[in-house]
């Protein structure tokens, strides 16, 4: 297992959930040409392997997806507050091997 330290930014979460970018905040931390981020794993296109992730990662992804599904009915202020909360529970490391 090879862990990579990441730092998810609130602005990256906000831009992703409101649709300003197609890149998941974790994809902004890694090479999106090599890796693809999914709810329960990160897929390595080079090795064709799905890499399992931690419970922290799963919890973060669930909150991120839920917010993305709900933003249409929310103000930017509400979205920003929830982005801060999601940033606080975001994984600090991901498994990339």
> What mean pLDDT is predicted for residues 57-65?
98
Task: Tell me how far apart the alpha carbons of residues 36 and 93 are, in angstroms, rounded to a whole number.
Answer: 16
Domain of residue 27, residue span: 3-95
Average pLDDT, the chain: 96
pLDDT at 1: 78
Tokens 């419970």 correspond to 55
Residue 32 pLDDT class (50, 70, 90 cuts): confident
Check if the beta carbon of residue 58 is closer than 8 Å to that of residue 84.
no
Q: What is the pLDDT of residues 65-86, one digit of tens each?
A: 999 999 999 999 999 999 999 9
**Domains of the chain: total:** 1
Buried/exposed code over 44-75 (b: 16+ C-beta within 10 A; e: otherwise): beeeeeebebeeebeebbebbeebbeebeeee
């Amino acid at each position: 297992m090879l862990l990579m330290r990441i730092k998810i930014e609130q602005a990256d979460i906000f831009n992703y959930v409101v649709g300003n970018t197609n890149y998941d905040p974790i994809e902004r931390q890694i090479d999106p040409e090599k890796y693809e981020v999914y709810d329960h794993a990160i897929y390595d296109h080079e090795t064709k392997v799905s890499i399992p992730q931690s419970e922290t990662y799963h919890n973060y992804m669930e909150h991120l997806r839920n917010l993305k599904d709900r933003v249409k009915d929310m103000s930017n202020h509400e979205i920003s507050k929830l982005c801060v909360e999601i940033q606080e529970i975001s994984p600090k490391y991901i498994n990339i091997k």
